[in-house]
Structure formats: structure tokens, C-alpha cells
Amino acid sequence: MLYEIRRFFLARDVLEVETPLLGHCIGTDPQLAFFSTDYCSPPLQQTLFLQTSPEFAMKRLLAAGSGSIYQICKAFRNGESGRFHNPEFTLLEWYRVDFTLSQLMDEIDDLITVLFAGRMPLQATQRVSYQDVFYQYTGLNPLVFSYQEYCAYALAHEIPEAVSICGDDHPLWLDFIFSHKVQPFLGENALCMVYGYPACQSSLARINEYNSQITDRVEIFINGIELGNGFYELCDAIEQNRRFDDEIAIRQQRNLPVSIKDKHLIAALEAGLPECSGIAIGLDRLLMVLSKRDLIDDVLSFAIHRA
């Protein structure tokens, strides 16, 4: 699988890069938990972080003029262990300069076609908007939050715990309902691309220029398994800094560990990030699908309980 991936990007003149696994900063996303460690070099002592993604460092390379790049690396997320999760996992992340989200989706389709050829037949690739697929399976409008309607849906569809877990947090409601009532049905023996996520789930993607209610973000699924998350990348340093501050405030409200905002990324955006789109794909999950395994442990030589 790794050989096929490298050959794919070599043919397209995309440069393979390496960035640090250990850094001074970490993402602010309230949904992600991270590992920290102490760096001791007397008299200096600093807290460093194992990266949840190479995204920030790769964007610094893009701003420095690297051109289109990709990376295969380890990433780390605390508290994630289960059928589809291991706290240490392998990511493929790539960025294509001057690609729109639609062009990136075309390339994702091309890569998946190459990797599955002769191994596992897939049906025609599906592309569907988040709003359409969310409404199809729930009857709810994901772009307009109604606490009463969401609560009524949760109670009627055997997920009553959502009421206490999600409260009045619209993005949390969307994540909860989507993962339980939409995602399991996506991509039956096919690559399914869901695009146009609600603006409240914009993360590091830019808001769509024609519809401010949605963001230029795509996620990909096969047989109900989420494999990757991609963006038409946000290039606005002021907006990115605001989003970081908002997420830090949410972390404080939830009494989550303090994250350190990546000022190097903000400086790179200020210097000028080229127009680009990028995606991260979990290679352990992809290998699960390719090898028709049910557990991520089945494709890891040393899952966390054997590490």
C-alpha cells in the first residue's frame, strides 16, 4: 500500500516531506486530546507535544514555497482506543497547490481507485452534500439548529444520551447524530465523499464563497468507516487566529488541557499561504478496508495494549 501511494505521488510530481512529531505547539480543536511531555536540557525545561497531525508544519512548508507536498507519518491522539482507533496511528497527508476542493476530490478518487484495483471491487464513487445526506437519514436541517427538534429526534431514535452530552452545542449535536445515524450507511462497497459541511464545523477550511452557511470541507467513507478529512485551506491569518482563540475559550469552558496556539502557523499565513487544498487519510483504517478486517488491531503489529 505504501509503495503504491509513493508511486502515485511520484508520478504527479508531489514532493515527499518530513516534519517534526514533537513540537512546541499543538492544535486547539476541543474534540482532540493530545499527549505532552517534558523536554529537559538543564537549565532549560519545556513542555512539548506529540502532534495530532502534521498539518501546521506542512502549511509552513507550503508558505515557504515548497509546492505540492505529501507525508506519511505517525500521529498521536490521547484517549482514542477501540475498533477504529489507536492512540498512535499512521497518516497520509497531502496538499495540492492551486487545487480547488473539487480537484482534490478528483485526486482522492484517483488514488483510491489505484489502491483498490485488483484487490477489492468498488462501486461507482458517490459525491453527496452534507445537508442532503443528513436530511436523507434524519429529516433534520443541519444548517439551522433547533434544540427542540434535535432533542425530539434523539428521544425518538434511541440516542437519548445526546441530550445531556450535547446540550446547546450545535457542532457536538451534528457530530453525535452524524456518527450514529448517518455515517454507518455511507459508502457501501463504494467511496463516498461528503462535502459542504456546516460552517460551524469549518475547522481549518474556508467558508464557501457562494454560501456562508457551509464550509469547503470533504470527508471520505467506505462501508461506513471514516477514512479522511480534507479542506480547501483557509489562508486568512486573522480568521485562523480568531478560530484558534474561540477553540481555546471552549477548551477552558470544558476544563480541557491547555493547548498552545501555533504562532508559527499564523506567521506563515501572514507571509502568504498559496491557494491549496489538502486532506489527511488514516492509513491503518484504509488497510483495514483493503484487507477486509473488522478491527484496527488486526492491521497493527503492536496496538497500544501490546506496545
156 CB contacts (<8 Å, ≥6 apart)? none
Q: Is the pLDDT of residue 178 over 80?
A: yes
Helices and strands (H, E) in the chain, number of each type? 10, 11
Q: Would you call 96 helix, strand, or coil by DSSP? A: strand
Residue 251 pLDDT class (50, 70, 90 cuts): very high
Quote the pLDDT of residue 29: 92
Q: How are the residues of the chain apportioned to helix, strand and coil, as percentages rounded to the nearest 5?
A: 40, 25, 35
Rounded to an integer, the average pLDDT of 275-304 is 96
Q: Is the pLDDT of residue 44 over 90?
A: no
Task: Report the C-alpha gap between 224 and 263 in whole angstroms.
Answer: 36
Q: Would you call 133 helix, strand, or coil by DSSP? A: helix
Quote the pLDDT of residue 51: 96
Rounded to an integer, the average pLDDT of 74-93 is 93
Look up residue 49 and give its DSSP letter: E
Question: Do β-strands 22-23 and 15-16 pair in parallel, antiparallel, or remain unpaired?
Answer: unpaired
Q: Is the pLDDT of residue 79 over 90?
A: no
Q: Is the pLDDT of residue 293 over 80?
A: yes
Quote the pLDDT of residue 81: 79
* Grid coordinates given for 119: 484487490
The predicted model scores a pTM of 0.94
Query: Which domains, ranges and CATH numbers included, belong to the chain?
Result: 2-306 (3.30.930.10)
Q: Would you call 70 helix, strand, or coil by DSSP? A: strand
Q: Is the pLDDT of residue 80 over 80?
A: no
pLDDT tens, position by position, 191-232 = 999 999 999 998 899 999 999 999 999 999 999 999 999 999
Rounded to an integer, the average pLDDT of 157-181 is 95
Quote the pLDDT of residue 145: 94
* Grid coordinates given for 22: 514533537
**Which of 61-70, 99-108, 125-134, 257-266 is predicted with the least confidence, judged by mean pLDDT?**
257-266
